[in-house]
Chains A and B, each alone.
Chain A
Amino acid sequence: MDKARGSDPMKKSGSPRWRGFLPLVGLVLLVALPFAAQAFGQSALTSLATRMLILAIAASALNIALGLGGLVSFGHAAFYGVGAYAVGILTTHGASGMPFLGFVPGSEHLAVNLLVAMSVSGIVAGLIGALALRTSGVPFIMITLAFAQMLFFFFVALKAYGGDDGLSMRRRNALPGLNMRDDVTFYFTSLTILLAWLGVSARLFHSRFGLLLGGIRQSERRMQAIGVPTVRYRWLAFVLSGVGTGLAGGLMAVFGRFVSPDMMHWTQSGELLIMVVLGGAGTIFGPVLGAFALIGLETLLAGWTEHWQIILGPALVLMALTFRGGLARLGRSEQGP
């Protein structure tokens, strides 16, 4: 636990000169974590940290819609779940040898399955986004929530793939040359995917696309007036965000060898939002910090009392009322947007 918390060292940063090194320090700690966990005989810590890494991907992906696009989506659990089900269904068919729908061959290859998870979530995000972006503000929040709920009920009713009970997989998807059944190997695979995703989102934030979205966030009317098709850009941000969330969902399905409609429960959407805001919306590393902080806090509280939500709830209220800008902006002179 201590090691995991060590990865948000921005808490104590006072001097701006340190800041550049902080991600590097975090990375070193993350690389050292599984070895330290083994040395202290706490190998469960590696699994916990893997979950944090995967949720960090999801939070970072939501951040593209929320922080970059200014879209408060309360339905991102849908893409998380769709990605997970894409992997789950492909893996089931891969294991049984029966093609999906009679012509799509199953697969137990990790890379193939994750790519499919990303594409399917991207398509679903494209459809939901096209409808939801007809509105903005509070209706947008409600509609994304409602669509996620619709998909939740769809998978509850999907008896062929477990329905309510979910879908278990016999073994983890494989990558040639790597032993995925080993938790440390899987941890480093997840870490690599997280780093790659962070690289992509850092590029996005500083690209022309990211700057345009920043402009749209500040004044949509002005951007429209200079000829920017604002809705199309927002839609693209929403789709990219869905793709990344689907990737995280797929990876989580492989990690736990299990998928269930619970992954797209509306509280999951809420938790992803909390991670982004807690860490700092619109920053590159903020959502990662947020994911680690929230899962860490939940694990600590859950170890202390069964009724941990009675503490987490008011903590969230306090956070929303007082805390501006998120963990990643702590110690900077300006406090958030």
Chain B
Amino acid sequence: MALLLEQMLNGVQLGVMLFLLAAGLTLIFGIMGVINLAHGSLYMVGAYAAAFVAQATGSFLLAIPAGLAAAALVGMTIEFTVVRRLYARDHLDQVLATFGLILFFNQLVVLMFGRQPMFVQIPPAFAGAIDLGLFSYPVYRLCIIAVGLATAGALFWLIQRTRLGMLVRAGATHRDMVQALGVDVRLLYTVVFGLGALLAGLAGLMSGPLLSVQVGMGEQILILTFVVVVIGGLGSVSGAFAGALLVGIVDTSLRAFLPGLLRGIMTGSEADALAGGISAMGVYLLMAIVLLVRPKGLFPAHG
């Protein structure tokens, strides 16, 4: 029971990380109709900037704004120079251009930081574990869950309750009308893209102390994020939230429990190999099942 709860928390932790990426991806698609493969690169930029500042200054507190600012700045620069020219293009051009961006950013990071992964210490204030009664759980992971849920709340508030959010919603469904009413749509797009980049950077900088910061980290999580977005329904932020938690929990539980279950029916090493394979494929199977039942995802965006 304790193990089950602990793995659930791990799943939620992965889920909120995925949500931070998926929210940006799905907003950018919903509003601008752009598929941005380079979203994972923004995650990587956030992680590297934070890791670099943390190593240089020894302070995680300084690393946080560094990661956020780097991701948002790079994001807005990409929007201004490349993505802006892709809005009217078909998806194929968008895929190719943003694929080119991935190659560029990965190689740039290799040039600047080398191929060796960077490691970031968990900030001392959040080190150690907290006793939750049945089991103890790392404080840092709980912090990630809290930050992720708070960000999700803030994002929903932003979209549903503020003037900017109103423009975002209107821009997603009635782009021409918004423009005709005198809203600077180009500025709106840059802001939304920057917001998505900021969320990706936040996920990146928080992942630093948990995973190694290395080239290619962006694409690994990007493809998982695609699964989340497809399951949730493209363009829908609440769908992204549900999809992210579902994928996070399914992925974590398969990895945690499948080897044990399979070891009951076959030898240890074979069970581990098979379980590894099935759990790596698990979320994709989940996606296939969701698509069979609901081709437009669990919470399809209107329109």
> Would B91 and A316 count as touching, CB distance under 8 A?
no
- Measured between beta carbons, the chain A residues less than 8 angstroms from B276 are 157
Binds A, one of B92-100, B116-124, B155-163, B202-210: B92-100
Which residue from chain A places its CB closest to the CB of B275 in the assembled complex? A157
- Against A, the Cβ 8 Å flags (1 = close, 0 = not) of B165-180 are 0000000000000000
| B85: Cβ under 8 A from any A Cβ | yes
Knowing A146-B230, A316-B96, A317-B97 are in contact, say whether A134-B273 is a contact too (CB < 8 A).
Answer: no
| B287: Cβ under 8 A from any A Cβ | yes
The distance from the CB of B101 to the nearest CB of chain A, in whole angstroms, is: 6
| A35: Cβ under 8 A from any B Cβ | no
The distance from the CB of A141 to the nearest CB of chain B, in whole angstroms, is: 6
- Against B, the Cβ 8 Å flags (1 = close, 0 = not) of A60-79 are 00000010000010100000
| B125: Cβ under 8 A from any A Cβ | no
- Measured between beta carbons, the chain A residues less than 8 angstroms from B92 are 66, 72, 273, 277, 281
> Would B95 and A146 count as touching, CB distance under 8 A?
no
- Against A, the Cβ 8 Å flags (1 = close, 0 = not) of B85-119 are 11001011111110111111111101100000000
| A330: Cβ under 8 A from any B Cβ | no
A147 to B226, CA, bound (A): 11
- Measured between beta carbons, the chain B residues less than 8 angstroms from A273 are 92, 95-96, 99
List of 5 A-B pairs having minimum Cβ-Cβ separation, nearest first: A157-B277, A316-B100, A313-B104, A313-B103, A153-B280
- Measured between beta carbons, the chain A residues less than 8 angstroms from B99 are 270, 273-274, 316
The distance from the CB of A308 to the nearest CB of chain B, in whole angstroms, is: 8
| B27: Cβ under 8 A from any A Cβ | no
A317 to B98, CA, bound (A): 7
| A154: Cβ under 8 A from any B Cβ | yes
Secondary structure type dominating chain B contacts: helix
| B284: Cβ under 8 A from any A Cβ | yes
The distance from the CB of B218 to the nearest CB of chain A, in whole angstroms, is: 12
* Interface residues on chain A, size class: 35 or more
- Against B, the Cβ 8 Å flags (1 = close, 0 = not) of A253-293 are 00000000000001000100110010001000000000000
The distance from the CB of A82 to the nearest CB of chain B, in whole angstroms, is: 14
| A99: Cβ under 8 A from any B Cβ | no
A312 to B106, CA, bound (A): 12
> Would A134 and B96 count as touching, CB distance under 8 A?
no
A270 to B219, CA, bound (A): 13
- Measured between beta carbons, the chain A residues less than 8 angstroms from B95 are 72, 74, 141, 270, 273
Which residue from chain B places its CB closest to the CB of A128 in the assembled complex? B288
> Would B277 and A154 count as touching, CB distance under 8 A?
yes
A307 to B111, CA, bound (A): 8
> Would A150 and B284 count as touching, CB distance under 8 A?
yes
The distance from the CB of B297 to the nearest CB of chain A, in whole angstroms, is: 8
The distance from the CB of B67 to the nearest CB of chain A, in whole angstroms, is: 23
- Measured between beta carbons, the chain A residues less than 8 angstroms from B110 are 307
Interface residues in B, total, Cβ within 8 A: 48
The distance from the CB of A154 to the nearest CB of chain B, in whole angstroms, is: 6
| A321: Cβ under 8 A from any B Cβ | yes
A181 to B286, CA, bound (A): 45
Knowing A138-B91, A307-B110, A313-B103 are in contact, say whether A157-B273 is a contact too (CB < 8 A).
Answer: yes
| A230: Cβ under 8 A from any B Cβ | no
| A54: Cβ under 8 A from any B Cβ | no
The distance from the CB of B92 to the nearest CB of chain A, in whole angstroms, is: 5
> Would A309 and B106 count as touching, CB distance under 8 A?
yes
Knowing A154-B277, A314-B100, A321-B97 are in contact, say whether A134-B111 is a contact too (CB < 8 A).
Answer: no
- Measured between beta carbons, the chain A residues less than 8 angstroms from B227 are 142, 146
- Against A, the Cβ 8 Å flags (1 = close, 0 = not) of B263-303 are 00000000001101110110011011001100111000000
A66 to B89, CA, bound (A): 16
> Would A145 and B96 count as touching, CB distance under 8 A?
no
Known contacts A273-B95, A316-B99; 16 further A-B pairs (Cβ under 8 A)? A72-B95, A131-B292, A134-B291, A137-B91, A143-B287, A153-B280, A270-B95, A273-B96, A273-B99, A274-B96, A277-B96, A309-B106, A310-B107, A316-B103, A317-B104, A321-B93
Knowing A135-B291, A150-B285, A157-B277 are in contact, say whether A309-B93 is a contact too (CB < 8 A).
Answer: no
- Against B, the Cβ 8 Å flags (1 = close, 0 = not) of A85-114 are 000000000000000000000000000000
- Measured between beta carbons, the chain B residues less than 8 angstroms from A314 are 100, 104
The distance from the CB of B298 to the nearest CB of chain A, in whole angstroms, is: 13
- Measured between beta carbons, the chain A residues less than 8 angstroms from B291 are 131, 134-135, 143
What are 7 sample pairs from A and B whose C-beta atoms fall under 8 A apart? Answer: A72-B95, A131-B288, A135-B230, A139-B230, A156-B277, A309-B104, A312-B100
| A315: Cβ under 8 A from any B Cβ | yes
> Would B82 and A313 count as touching, CB distance under 8 A?
no
- Measured between beta carbons, the chain A residues less than 8 angstroms from B229 are 142
| B244: Cβ under 8 A from any A Cβ | no
> Would A313 and B96 count as touching, CB distance under 8 A?
no
> Would A138 and B295 count as touching, CB distance under 8 A?
no
| A320: Cβ under 8 A from any B Cβ | yes
Knowing A139-B234, A277-B96, A317-B97 are in contact, say whether A146-B223 is a contact too (CB < 8 A).
Answer: yes
- Measured between beta carbons, the chain B residues less than 8 angstroms from A281 are 92
- Measured between beta carbons, the chain A residues less than 8 angstroms from B85 are 321
Q: Give which listed residue, A135, A159, A309, A315, contacts B295 with CB less than 8 A.
A: A135
| B137: Cβ under 8 A from any A Cβ | no
| A149: Cβ under 8 A from any B Cβ | yes
A150 to B288, CA, bound (A): 11
| A32: Cβ under 8 A from any B Cβ | no
> Would B284 and A320 count as touching, CB distance under 8 A?
no
A320 to B99, CA, bound (A): 10
- Measured between beta carbons, the chain B residues less than 8 angstroms from A24 are none
| A27: Cβ under 8 A from any B Cβ | no
